[in-house]
Structure 1
Amino acid sequence: MSQFALCVGINRFENLPMASWLNGCVNDAADVCALLGAAYGFADSSITVLTDQAATKDAVLGAMTEALDRANTPGEHLDHIVFTMSSHGTQLPDTSGDEADQVDEAFATYDLRQNGAVWDASSLIVDDELHDLFTRLPKGVLLDVILDTCHSGSGLRALDLVPTVDDRRPRFVPPPTPLGRDGAEAEGADTRTLRDLVRSSTSAAKPVLFAACRADQTAADANFGGRYNGAFTRFLLDALQSGSAPSRAAVIKQVNAKLRARKFAQRAQLEASAPGKSTAWGTAF
């Protein structure tokens, strides 16, 4: 089996103050990388890890584009792609007019920067860009996606970036100004997420998507015994390492049970076909 994994973790951001940096994202990337090698047979040469200053928008999208180019090249026989990203999530106003909720979900890369009242779309990964990449997935190639970022739908004004209870920090960075926050709030509308794009895709092959929380929630960056991880990634790795979850659906159930037990408000989400939900993580269907 030919495999490729891209593991992205960003704690520090070029243009954000230290108060807005995170602590567990780099550990998330390293821990997923280690699990892929130990439990899923990924060779070191098949895994690319991008952290902090190496995780620019061009680097992340470039690595994924190369992987999908390989998957679509006859004779390459790339069977399994894994893409994981731990970082800040955010929103920016939709300017193309194709969003009913008037906002795009976005994922912060190291070079995130401001453009007037909002984030510069050329400095972060917009949900549409990931969706366009995923639609290039050829039939017969498995793409497992893990996103440990916030998918915030409402209450942007109430969010801040100071540590909360038990040394927990939300993986969400609001638009940079009050005007930008106003533009990213869709009054009374449901926020469309990448999960919705995956679900509605008409492509022959779809990725299996694990997301850290619902659209109206924030994902936590938290201290576990003196070492930071994303709460979702930590409990996901626990479930996968234990080998006690026979299916992706069982994995999500275990993860959410641990989130509830540790008093995290977020609830992990799974988007996959029925066969994808009933088979083990990392297994084709």
Structure 2
Amino acid sequence: MKQLALCVGINRFENLPMSSWLNGCVNDAEDLSALLGSAFGFADSSITLLTDQAATRDAVYGTLVEALDRANTPGEHLERILFTMSSHGTQVADTDNEEPDGVDEAFATCDLRQVGTQWDLESLIVDDELHTLFSRLPEGVLLDVIFDTCHSGSGLRAMDQLLLPDDRRPRFVPPPTPLGRDGTAVAGANTRILRDLVRTSSAVAKPVSLAACQADQEAIDANFDGRYNGPFTHFLLEELRSGAGASRADVVKRVNKKLRARKFEQIAQLEAPDPGKTTAWGTAF
């Protein structure tokens, strides 16, 4: 099988204070990329690993564009693309009036920076961009996406007061100023988060999305026996390493059972066509 993977993990952000840095995102990306080679047949040359300072907006989005270009190039015979992202999620004001709640969801890249009262749109990846890009997925190419990031629909001010143990923190960074927060704090339960975009990306080929939490929850960065990961990624890796060949739906059920057992409130989400839910992760349908 001819396949490409992009694994992104960002702990350190050029323009954010250290108090907003994370601990487990790089481990997520490195662990997932290692698993792809050892258990899922990815050649080293087919995996792009972008972490911390290498994971700029241009590098991440540019690599995704190249992958979709190759998928649409006759003679390439590309069968699978995998994209994993562990980072902060954030929100920006909708500029094209497409969102009912006036908010666009976004991934923070390492060069996230402020312009005026909001984040600079050239320093992050907005959901609309991924929607447009994933809509180019041709029939016969499998796109698996793993998001271990936070897209809260519960109100940004609540995030400021979130109380967690010292070894846990949310993977979410709000807009950089009080005025910017006022412009996006109207987000509610109907926020169109990235997993919803995957579900509706293409009338031809349907990507498969695994997301760390629901729209009104926080994806967490946590310590596991002295080493940090996202709990969702940590338990997902355990299930995929088991080699049991369980369906995608069963894998997510097992991950959520482990999240509950360890007192994590986030609930992992699977978005896929019905045949994709009943086949094993990484397999075509």
TM tier, shorter chain?
over 0.9
The within-5 A match list for 1:45-124 is 45-124=45-124
Deviations 1:201-223 (A, max 9, x none): 34301210000000111100000
Deviations 1:230-263 (A, max 9, x none): 1110011011111235100001001100110000
Pick closer, same or farther for the CA change 1:3–1:202 going to 2, 3 Å: closer
Secondary structure in structure 1 of the residue aligned to 2:136: coil
Amino acid of the structure 2 residue aligned with 1:88: H
- CA–CA distance in structure 1, aligned partners of residues 87 and 188 of structure 2: 27
Secondary structure in structure 1 of the residue aligned to 2:221: strand
C-alpha displacement of 1:159:
1.2
- CA–CA distance in structure 1, aligned partners of residues 188 and 226 of structure 2: 41
Amino acid of the structure 1 residue aligned with 2:185: E
Deviations 1:63-102 (A, max 9, x none): 1111111110011011011000000001011011111111
C-alpha displacement of 1:131:
1.0
| 8 A contact 1:79–1:141 mirrored in 2 | yes
Secondary structure in structure 2 of the residue aligned to 1:159: helix
Q: Which residue in the other structure is 1:249 paired with?
A: 249
Q: Which residue in the other structure is 2:137 paired with?
A: 137
Deviations 1:88-147 (A, max 9, x none): 001011011111111000000001001111111111000011111110110000000000
- Find out whether 1:157 has 2:118 as its counterpart: no
Q: Which residue in the other structure is 1:216 paired with?
A: 216
- CA–CA distance in structure 1, aligned partners of residues 128 and 99 of structure 2: 10
Pick closer, same or farther for the CA change 1:162–1:154 going to 2, 3 Å: closer
Secondary structure in structure 2 of the residue aligned to 1:267: coil
Amino acid of the structure 1 residue aligned with 2:178: P
| 8 A contact 2:154–2:216 mirrored in 1 | yes
| 8 A contact 1:27–1:229 mirrored in 2 | yes
Task: Count residues with an aligned counterpart.
Answer: 285
- CA–CA distance in structure 2, aligned partners of residues 154 and 41 of structure 1: 40
TM-score scaled by structure 1? 0.97
- CA–CA distance in structure 2, aligned partners of residues 146 and 187 of structure 1: 23
- CA–CA distance in structure 2, aligned partners of residues 233 and 214 of structure 1: 15
Pick closer, same or farther for the CA change 1:134–1:65 going to 2, 3 Å: same
Pick closer, same or farther for the CA change 1:175–1:187 going to 2, 3 Å: closer
- CA–CA distance in structure 2, aligned partners of residues 27 and 187 of structure 1: 30
Secondary structure in structure 1 of the residue aligned to 2:250: helix
Is 112-121 or 13-22 further displaced after alignment? 112-121
Q: Which residue in the other structure is 2:278 paired with?
A: 278
Give unmatched runs, 5+ long, in structure 2.
none
| 8 A contact 2:168–2:221 mirrored in 1 | yes
Amino acid of the structure 1 residue aligned with 2:11: N
- CA–CA distance in structure 2, aligned partners of residues 116 and 20 of structure 1: 20
Pick closer, same or farther for the CA change 1:207–1:148 going to 2, 3 Å: same
Amino acid of the structure 2 residue aligned with 1:275: P
- CA–CA distance in structure 2, aligned partners of residues 270 and 7 of structure 1: 19
Secondary structure in structure 2 of the residue aligned to 1:78: coil
Pick closer, same or farther for the CA change 1:84–1:123 going to 2, 3 Å: same
- CA–CA distance in structure 1, aligned partners of residues 203 and 19 of structure 2: 41
- CA–CA distance in structure 2, aligned partners of residues 104 and 80 of structure 1: 28
Amino acid of the structure 2 residue aligned with 1:234: H
Amino acid of the structure 1 residue aligned with 2:54: A
Deviations 1:255-279 (A, max 9, x none): 1001100000100001000000000
C-alpha displacement of 1:161:
8.6
Secondary structure in structure 2 of the residue aligned to 1:73: coil
Secondary structure in structure 2 of the residue aligned to 1:105: strand
Secondary structure in structure 2 of the residue aligned to 1:81: strand
C-alpha displacement of 1:162:
8.2
- Aligned CA RMSD, in angstroms, stands at 1.4
- CA–CA distance in structure 2, aligned partners of residues 149 and 230 of structure 1: 9
C-alpha displacement of 1:166:
5.4
| 8 A contact 2:104–2:126 mirrored in 1 | yes
Pick closer, same or farther for the CA change 1:188–1:155 going to 2, 3 Å: closer
| 8 A contact 1:35–1:241 mirrored in 2 | yes
TM-score scaled by structure 2? 0.97
Q: Which residue in the other structure is 1:14 paired with?
A: 14
Secondary structure in structure 2 of the residue aligned to 1:257: helix
